[in-house]
Amino acid sequence: MAVTNEDVVWCYHSILGREPESAQVIQRHISAAEDFRSLVLGFINSPEYLQKKLPLGLVHLDRPDIHVELMASSLELALLGNRVREAWTHMGVARPHHSVLSGKDYLPQFINKDAIDRFYASGAREVATINAILRRHGFYHPESKTCVEYGCGLGRVTFALAKMFKKVHGYDISTAHLTLAERNTSDTGIYNIDFHLCSADVSSQNLEDCDFFYSRIVLQHNPPPVMRELIAVSLKSLRPGGIAIFQVPTYGTGYAFHIQEYLASPQRLDMEMHCIPQSEVFLLIAEAHCKMLELREDRSIGRLGQWISNTFVVQRPARPSPRPSSATSTRRSVVSSSSTDRRR
């Protein structure tokens, strides 16, 4: 039996766990495969799948420490936040879909209706995973609850969340992204979403109170001091009993971040990849009076063997716990290794 377009897309989703690069690549698979069996065998013998079969923890335990400066002054935070805004304002205009999902199919010169349908279908699959995690921790009846999504972009995940929750607040730092997302509300007939433009001054930003907070493949594009502030603000938004699911890279081979050195470098109007040591995330969770429910290594970034990405599932208890003592320094440098994150 001849291989179909749907067969190839199924292999990408079910075996490689991602979208096809382009319609042209799909056609090449159709032409090369004699039947469905040979198509599947080709995918499971591909270098990409064989690498995915390896354990997630591919960063060896003997990797060197990373040096990350986390604590910034108010002025430095404002300067860092402005850099983030300028980059994502540019990308939101120049390549809105590709800045959210980096497949070639989402570049402006290739984007079409089929690609856009796949773009939003990926968000629906993501929400199915979210629902499974929440149910695992006794989070029921989302139709009566409020959700905050940070880094909503074009609403790729937001619109699927809106079908699950009573109210969704989507935050993004790109005006162009939000304009397109708001335009899609009338196309989809979904009106229980409020979109918010993020402040470049992260230290003054407040999010709507929520029962569920979500952010994935977003925080990693912010410098570590900004990422730290955003995690703190996000956890603060949780109501008692609320759950947050967020993803951040926690180790990168050869990664270092020094505030003044970074601010002295030329502005890049492109996405950057940053990380925050796992120990710092644990501290932020404790300082927010929250508790860990799950910690998973994930494949949200395609740098296997070099970087570690973690998904954190966190809950604010229904009853407040005693407040831990806070750090008193105005600037903290963290030295982290792939095996243990330690504070100096």
Distances (CA, A) of 70 to 30, 85, 324, 329: 49, 19, 19, 11
Three-state DSSP class for residue 342: strand
Q: What is the gyration radius of the CA atoms in the chain, in angstroms?
A: 21
CATH placement of domain 66-343:
3.40.50.150
Distances (CA, A) of 77 to 74, 137, 261: 5, 35, 14
Residue-level pLDDT, tens digit, the chain, 344 residues: 688 988 888 888 888 888 888 888 899 899 888 888 888 888 888 877 766 665 555 666 667 788 999 999 999 999 999 999 999 999 999 999 999 998 888 999 999 999 999 999 999 999 999 999 999 999 999 999 999 999 999 999 999 999 999 999 999 999 999 999 998 887 788 899 999 999 888 877 889 999 999 999 999 999 999 999 999 999 999 999 999 999 999 999 999 999 999 999 999 999 999 999 999 999 999 999 999 999 999 988 866 668 999 999 999 998 755 555 544 444 445 555 443 343 33
User: Going edge to edge, which strands form the sheet with 167-172?
Assistant: 193-197, 167-172, 146-150, 210-215, 238-252, 307-315, 291-298
Nearest to 185 by CA among 194, 197, 196, 175: 194
> How far is it, in rounded angstroms, from Cα 238 to Cα 281?
16
Three-state DSSP class for residue 101: coil
Domain ranges of the chain: 5-53, 66-343
> How far is it, in rounded angstroms, from Cα 195 to Cα 172?
8
User: Concatenated DSSP letters for 302-332?
Assistant: S-TTTEEEEEEEEE--SSPPPPPPPP--SS-
Burial of 261 (0-12, 13-18, 19+ CB in 10 A): exposed
Residue 267: CB atoms within 10 A of its CB come to 11
pTM check: above 0.95 = no
**Phi/psi of residue 17, each to 5°?**
70, 35
